[in-house]
Amino acid sequence: MVKCRCGQVYSGVPEHLPVIGSGENRYPAKVIQQLLNKPGGTAHSGVPFGDAFLFTRRRYQSMKRMLSGIKPTGQLHLGNYIGALSKFVSYQDEYEMIAFIANLHCITVPQDPVELQKNLQDCVALYLACGLDPKKSTIFLQTDVKEHAQLGYILCCHTYMGELNRMTQFKDKQAHGEKNLSGGLYTYPSLMAADILIYDPDYVPVGEDQKQHVELTRDIAIRMNNRYGKLFKIPEPLVPKVGARIMSLTDPSKKMSKSDETNKGCIYLLDDLKTARKKIMGAKTDSLGIIKFDPENQPGVANLMQILSSLSDNRPMADIEAEFAGKGYGDFKRAVADKVCEELEMIQGRYNEIIASGMIEDVLYEGAAKARSLAAPKLETVQHAIGMEIISK
């Protein structure tokens, strides 16, 4: 039995259900769900949950939902920022944004525990430093919402091995001759499908490399819906027109990635400015000496143009070509380096403030509670539809 602050008593709610809120505002998510399902949603006065949640719910009622995640296998880099994070930030005013940190996904390859924990902290701090606002977006760690893993297993049982065999991310690693690849790496796309489907989002903003996984997610959702009745919304991948695939500075035929062996091709968001500038000035170009957007014949120059354009509100390539007509690669690279350093300086300033403020735990606590209040009832619905449950919660 749960007594609301307004005096109303709710009975029949088992105490072990997921809770939301903190201190005296801690209430089982089910109660909150009941309140929110009432006509008018938030009309109930004296609601037993925190102001933030109330605010959030009101804000979200008419918005489409978006969800995405980043796996902190290493330091976040400029590709993550341009292809994903900066887009999440720009969407959060218009959409209900759910942005989580995929710490289950990152253990699909071996991790050093001390380094991993530091990367997790940095990743949350960088989410915030890049402009994700916990009042507008739901920010949490994947392991703090255990329903992801459970739905992941269920979806894995509805994913064909043939489908997993076709995933290029896994195939690339295999083709690379990497030994002892884990089972988790192989079944990763089913867990990613669960990360998405458990929240019924309308859109999933990702870089180009993740589009295939979102397409598989759609296939799994359609399969489940056909088999068990309508369980999931079918989400759309949202891939940016510019910057969906930022390439390595040293080898523009490969994407910029955390697993860059030399580190010279990848700009990390926490690189000091001198290092970042040096990497840009040393970026591989060509011998043609003209600044033209031609990814096929001038991939290095095109990549730097993409970086410059994305960091300047998607400035048109023709504009950049006109500015640098008749100028050399030195001038052009300096302009790109100036822009990148300006952005990094701003992000790093905020990052330092966030680390010093100690706010990370509060953000994660609140975010996980909000996420759980959506994920827990969804998992129950799915298990019930499959016929896996006896006790009705």
Residues acting as catalytic residues: 173, 255, 258
User: Which one of 57, 65, 71, 339 is in contact with ligand AMP (CB under 6 A)?
Assistant: 71
Distance CA 174, CA 172 (A): 5
Residues that bind ligand TRP (CB under 6 A): 67-71, 102, 105, 192, 195-196, 204, 206, 210, 213
CB of 393 to ligand TRP, least distance (A): 26
The Cα 210–Cα 227 span in angstroms is 26
Q: Please identify, among the stretches 6-14, 119-127, 138-146, 241-249, the one whose residues bind ligand AMP according to the rule CB under 6 A.
A: 241-249
Instruction: Give me the phi and psi of 259, to 5 degrees please.
Output: -95, 25
**x-marked contacts with ligand AMP along 14-53 as a string, rule CB under 6 A:** ----------------------------------------
Q: Which of 67, 63, 371 is CA-nearest to residue 203?
A: 67
195 binds, among ligand TRP, ligand AMP, none (CB under 5 to 8 A by kind): ligand TRP
Nearer to ligand AMP, 233 or 245 (CB): 245
Q: What's the number of CA atoms in the CB half-sphere (13 Å) around residue 113? A: 0
Q: Which residues contact 185 (CB under 8 A, 6 or more apart)?
A: 108, 109, 170, 173
User: Is 128 within 8 Å of 363 (Cβ atoms)?
Assistant: yes
Determine, following the binding rule CB under 6 A, whether residue 83 of this chain makes contact with ligand AMP.
yes
> Which of 71, 339 has the CB closer to ligand TRP?
71
Residue pair 204/235 in contact by the 8 Å Cβ criterion: yes
- Check binding of 139 to ligand AMP (CB under 6 A): no
Give the number of residues in contact with ligand AMP, rule: CB under 6 A.
17
Q: Cβ closer to ligand TRP: 167 or 363?
A: 167
Dist. CA 136–CA 139, nearest whole Å: 9
Q: At what angle do helices 329-357 and 299-311 cross, to 10 degrees?
A: 50
C-alpha span between 235 and 237 (Å, rounded):
7
89 belongs to the binding site for ligand AMP (CB under 6 A): no
According to DSSP, residue 129 is labeled: H
Residue 374 CA, chain-centre distance (Å), reads 17
Q: Under the phi-then-psi rule, with left for phi > 0, alpha for psi from -120 to 50, and beta for the rest, what region is 286? A: beta
Does residue 79 belong to the site contacting ligand AMP (CB under 6 A)? yes
DSSP code for 288: S
Is 207 a binding residue for ligand AMP by CB under 6 A? The answer is yes
210 lies in the site for ligand AMP, by CB under 6 A:
yes
CB nearer ligand AMP, residue 57 or residue 213: 213
Q: Kindly state whether residue 264 participates in binding ligand AMP, applying the rule CB under 6 A.
A: no
Place of tokens 């880099």: 77
Which among 24, 23, 22 is positioned nearest to 53, based on CA atoms?
Answer: 22
Which of the stretches 18-26, 131-139, 206-214, 215-223 binds ligand AMP when contact is defined by CB under 6 A? 206-214
**Which amino acid belongs to residue 389?**
E
Which is nearer to ligand TRP, 86 or 298 (by Cβ)?
86
User: Is 98 among the residues that bind ligand AMP (CB under 6 A)?
Assistant: no
Spatial neighbors of 69 by CB under 8 A, at least 6 apart, are 99, 100, 101, 102, 105, 142, 192, 195
Residue closer to ligand AMP (CB basis): 243 or 367 = 243
The reply to whether 246 sits near ligand AMP by the rule CB under 6 A is yes
Query: Using CB distances below 5 to 8 A depending on partner kind, what does residue 260 bind out of ligand TRP, ligand AMP, none?
Result: none
Return residues touching ligand AMP (CB under 6 A): 70-71, 79-80, 82-84, 206-207, 209-210, 244-246, 255-256, 258
